Structure 1
Amino acid sequence: MSEEEKSSDNQEFSAPSAAANISKDYDIIEDDAVLSNSPNYQSVAKTGQVIPVEKDQSSSQESIGKGSSAATDVVKQVEHPTTSGSSELNPFAKGFVPRVSESGDTPPPIPPHHADQADAFSGSRLQDPQVEGDLQQVEEQLLPRVNCPEKIIICLDLSSEVNRVPFISRDFTKYQPLDLIKRALNIFVKTKNTMNPLHEYALVLLHDSAVWMQDFTSDVDEFFNVLQDSTNETQDSDGFDLTSLFDQILEKVDLPFVEDMLVLPPPYIVRTIFIYGRSNCIPGFLDGRESQRQLSNSPYFFFDVFYVHEPPSDDNLCKEVYDVFLDLDSNNTSYIHEVGRNTTHLHNKMAMLLGHPLQRPIQMQASHSLNPPGPS
């Protein structure tokens, strides 16, 4: 058996607890309740003045209201996806049902509009309900659970808004979010390369539109050099055009075709990891979403989201941004993670993306707990 065949037969695992130790390097406050939700947080973040923080604040994932009318007016001309019943899936809304089981015991209940997917698993596919305007019949494809090579497109947000509110250490030293995101990406890519050196990585930068910077390569050193050289500066952005992103992907990527897809594994799968860091800018489709629909119709295309946001408040649009990401997951195969200004969560949730899309369960049935199962 060749080395490539051996590599393809290996299973991939995610280990979020190992990545959590990275927080010690930065000595970042690990309790969102201590810092992110403190009434003093904004003044500390902006002025650097040391103000005693209160430790009895509620969790950072409380419900938030609508954003300012000015911010809403800016995006009215853009086609924004809509998600019915999103309150059950949106962590910023009341009635939220977690997409990830935190306890490791019983997975959370499936929301009513996802009830027909309760027995789905990785590789299951739902026909796009918006194609030709009619609701298509759910078609479940049971794909082989193999560790085939991944073509991973890493999309990194370079809007200046990403760095507007920094991470703050216990001694109130500020750290730019983009620097911590790139560090987590470094760990992610090196770990994936260790799991399977046949994985390839491409880089897309997000400004007002998507810019394809690095074509697919399995040379992680080359990838890191391009990542470091092209992400030193941010720039102001008025919005983000999702059409440009999916158009670029459709142009650059050849999706695999397998005749007997229930038996034969694909030569590779394509996964996009969309890292978005804006809390006041709702992404939208400026020129339609035909490319996104074409890509989503392939069982070998996956779109994961890593949303790094400011502490939720009535002054930002975290909930509305998250609703867009929910709408993009028409196949229920995406992993969508949101992270506030908490470095432990940043690295843990990045580690949760290590699992192979063909081998992982759907996110609502996933458990990342290391606790042993209880008595039967």
Structure 2
Amino acid sequence: MEGMEGDNSGRGEGSSRYTLKPLRILNEDILICIDIDPQCLVEMKGATGPNGRPLTRLDSIKQAIILFVNAKLTINPQHRFAFVTLSNTLSWVRKEFSSEIDSTIAAMRGVSASSSTGPPDLTNLFRLGVHEAKKSRVQGRIFRVILFYCRSSERPQHQWPVNQKLFTLDVMYLHDKPGPDNCPQEVYDTLVEALEHVSEYEGYILESGQGLARVLFRHVLILLSHPQQRCIQEYVDIPKSITKKVPQVEPMTTEDSVPIASQ
């Protein structure tokens, strides 16, 4: 658990006393960045909208964000959210941090894919994250950036000092299968390096090349975890697959535990 420390000033020689240091779990300000490169328009598998049209990555991302924000506010209504988009530049969708789910839904309606392409540079995103994190700290809050990235062939770049870690970065990476024009493994490795470069607490990176909306939703629910309460990602084993759950073994009936029928 957070804040546990050993205290060797026990009552007797050789004994140990452990105390739990008080730790305040801070409210979060979360900046969500959506990659709107044309690759966000790739269709998802087995998912359709109300009009029967196949859902795109961007459609599914917007649904996942609404699910995420609603769940976070159910856990703690003091969390706040703002939104930006990433194409060849960084643009605000909603600059004011809000704790209203209706505000998130309205912001998602205003997000659309960009027709322009260009090398993705995360420097401005990190710069914005630090700027907002400083304001959050003054208010006694913690800051997080969540990046939804959709490009299979373009590795993001950044110019950022390694000793400046004022926020936590999470990444959700949706990509195509490897091919002559795609290098998702190299993109993933670059995103991992960026995450480790800037994150104050343990940042998570999750990926899917399956094109399934349910996988995206399942991964996004993992990001509900508060940065101050996280284990390292390699220890995360939730949500568990139903097929992997250990079946419950019924206890054997003995003479001492024979059921008695009621009269």
TM over 0.5: yes
CA pair 369-200 structure 1, distance change in 2 beyond 3 A = closer
The match for 1:335 is 204
Distance 1:122 1:280 in 2: 39
Of 217, 223, 226, the match for 2:104: 223
Asked if the contact 1:271/1:303 (under 8 Å) is kept, the reply is yes
The match for 1:174 is 54
Percent identity between matched residues is: 31
Distance 1:325 1:227 in 2: 24
Distance 2:137 2:104 in 1: 27
The match for 1:241 is 121
Asked if the contact 1:210/1:248 (under 8 Å) is kept, the reply is no
Distance 1:143 1:269 in 2: 19
Aligned counterparts, 1:1-376, within 5 A: 146-163=24-41, 165-169=42-46, 174-214=54-94, 215-229=96-110, 231-254=111-134, 267-285=140-158, 288-290=159-161, 293-294=163-164, 296=165, 298=166, 301-328=167-194, 329-330=196-197, 333-340=202-209, 341-370=211-240, 371=245
CA pair 211-369 structure 1, distance change in 2 beyond 3 A = closer
Distance 2:22 2:56 in 1: 41
Count of aligned pairs between the two proteins: 221
**Post-superposition offset of 1:256:** 5.8
Asked if the contact 2:36/2:114 (under 8 Å) is kept, the reply is yes
**Post-superposition offset of 1:311:** 2.0
CA pair 122-273 structure 1, distance change in 2 beyond 3 A = farther
**Post-superposition offset of 1:372:** 6.1
Asked if the contact 1:280/1:317 (under 8 Å) is kept, the reply is yes
CA pair 315-302 structure 1, distance change in 2 beyond 3 A = same
**Post-superposition offset of 1:253:** 3.3
CA pair 224-144 structure 1, distance change in 2 beyond 3 A = farther
**Post-superposition offset of 1:320:** 1.4
Distance 2:24 2:218 in 1: 24
Distance 1:177 1:228 in 2: 15
SS of the aligned residue for 1:226 comes to helix
TM-score by length of 2: 0.74
SS of the aligned residue for 1:306 comes to strand
Asked if the contact 1:151/1:201 (under 8 Å) is kept, the reply is yes
**Post-superposition offset of 1:169:** 2.3
CA pair 198-174 structure 1, distance change in 2 beyond 3 A = same
Deviations 1:177-200 (A, max 9, x none): 110111111111101011000000
CA pair 369-169 structure 1, distance change in 2 beyond 3 A = closer
**Post-superposition offset of 1:374:** 10
Deviations 1:259-290 (A, max 9, x none): xxxxxxx93211110111111111112xx313
Distance 2:58 2:67 in 1: 14
1:221 maps to a residue whose letter is: D
SS of the aligned residue for 2:145 comes to strand
Distance 1:317 1:325 in 2: 13
Asked if the contact 1:145/1:359 (under 8 Å) is kept, the reply is no
Asked if the contact 1:122/1:362 (under 8 Å) is kept, the reply is no
2:219 maps to a residue whose letter is: K
Distance 2:152 2:23 in 1: 36
SS of the aligned residue for 1:345 comes to helix
| Bigger strand fraction | 2
Instruction: Name stretches of at least 5 consecutive residues in structure 1 with no aligned partner.
Output: 1-120, 124-141, 259-265
SS of the aligned residue for 1:227 comes to helix
TM-score by length of 1: 0.53
Distance 1:343 1:170 in 2: 7
Larger radius of gyration: 2
**Post-superposition offset of 1:173:** 6.4
Deviates more, 1:304-313 or 1:167-176: 167-176
Distance 2:68 2:217 in 1: 9
Distance 2:115 2:22 in 1: 43
Instruction: Name stretches of at least 5 consecutive residues in structure 2 with no aligned partner.
Output: 4-19, 250-263
**Post-superposition offset of 1:175:** 2.2
